[in-house]
Amino acid sequence: MTKIKEELERAYKSIEDRIPFIPEIALVLGSGLGEYAEDPEFHIEAEIPYGEIEGFPVSTVSGHDGRFVFGTVGEKKVVCMKGRVHYYEGYPVTQVVLPIRLMRRMGAQVLLLTNAAGGVNPSFKPGDFVCITDHISSFVPSPLIGPNEDDFGVRFPDMSQVYSKRLRLVLEHCAEKCKIDVKEGVYVQLSGPNYETPAEIRMVAKLGADLVGMSTVIEAMAARHMGMEICGISLVTNMACGVITGAKLSHEEVKETAAVAKERFTMLVTSFITNITIGD
């Protein structure tokens, strides 16, 4: 057994008795979006702080609580990551994706990744939701480097459709029903924790990125390796450095925009979760 699988099994065994159901959907809540797990639509059944899981990384960032919250939304069983850990916190990428692998181990088939992102595409504006159509991973290490765990997936996994077309259509339908404008775009993950320079943003724009952030991509790669079906939603909390205004960026701005978008986010995510069918 590979070290990665050993770590995963150890983490799983340490909380197995506290998992209330086999989740159908795994949901990762991004910066400032963690309150979704406290919404009345989310009927909480159990909570497990990351600190109580063996070998688990614990987030150190303000605005990032660290716990799994299990609950139902409509008829759907959901495990939700309230807070994620980031590569910039100093954890190796394999540790960063351990929570994703654990949710897969619990049985989740669909993964909804959400994040706060900087808008690179000048047609975006703060407060916009963007459905992720593809990503650029080239600036962060792959979480699949090292001995391959064949029980998780193949050595050379296909990444031609990381973000499921089927789920994108469901999201589009829900956005229409909720009268929420959802755009589409390519997300690039940079390491952080510093925000980018204007020159770096010009570079990622030339490479085809519409959104920039410090998470999501390595999680999507680990999930795709394990055969999960993925949907990604970014909330544009600010325009990326040097796009449109010369204003300085701060984590406060990111959290403020997320707070304003909270209601629309809740509506969209609830509609998405209730409308998807699992296992088609």
Catalytic residue annotation? 31, 64, 86, 88-89, 116, 214-215, 238, 251
Tokens 């570079």 identify what position?
203
Does the protein bind ligand HPA through residue 259 (CB under 6 A)? no
Does the protein bind ligand HPA through residue 117 (CB under 6 A)? yes
**Distance (Å) of CA 3 to CA 9, 144, 190, 224:** 10, 13, 27, 20
Q: Which of 95, 121, 238, 266 binds ligand HPA (CB under 6 A)?
A: 238
- Number of residues interacting with ligand HPA: please give it, by CB under 6 A: 13
Which two three-digit tokens encode residue 233? 């939603």
**Burial classification of residue 126, based on how many CB atoms lie within 10 Å of its CB (0-12 exposed, 13-18 middle, 19 or more buried):** middle
Does the protein bind ligand HPA through residue 121 (CB under 6 A)? no
Does the protein bind ligand HPA through residue 4 (CB under 6 A)? no
Q: Under 8 Å CB-to-CB from 185, ≥6 apart: which residues?
A: 121, 124, 130, 131, 132, 133, 209, 210, 211, 234
- Rounded to whole angstroms, the Cα distance separating 52 from 49 reads 6
Phi, psi for 70 (deg, rounded to 5): -100, 135
User: Helices 165-178 & 251-275, crossing angle to 10 degrees?
Assistant: 100
Does the protein bind ligand HPA through residue 235 (CB under 6 A)? no
**Closer residue to ligand HPA in complex, CB, 23/232:** 232
Q: Which of 129, 163, 195, 272 binds ligand HPA (CB under 6 A)?
A: 195
Q: Which of 214, 218, 220, 230 binds ligand HPA (CB under 6 A)?
A: 214
Select the span of 34-42, 110-118, 124-132, 153-161 touching ligand HPA (CB under 6 A): 110-118
Residues that bind ligand HPA (CB under 6 A): 116-118, 195-196, 212-214, 237-238, 240, 249, 254
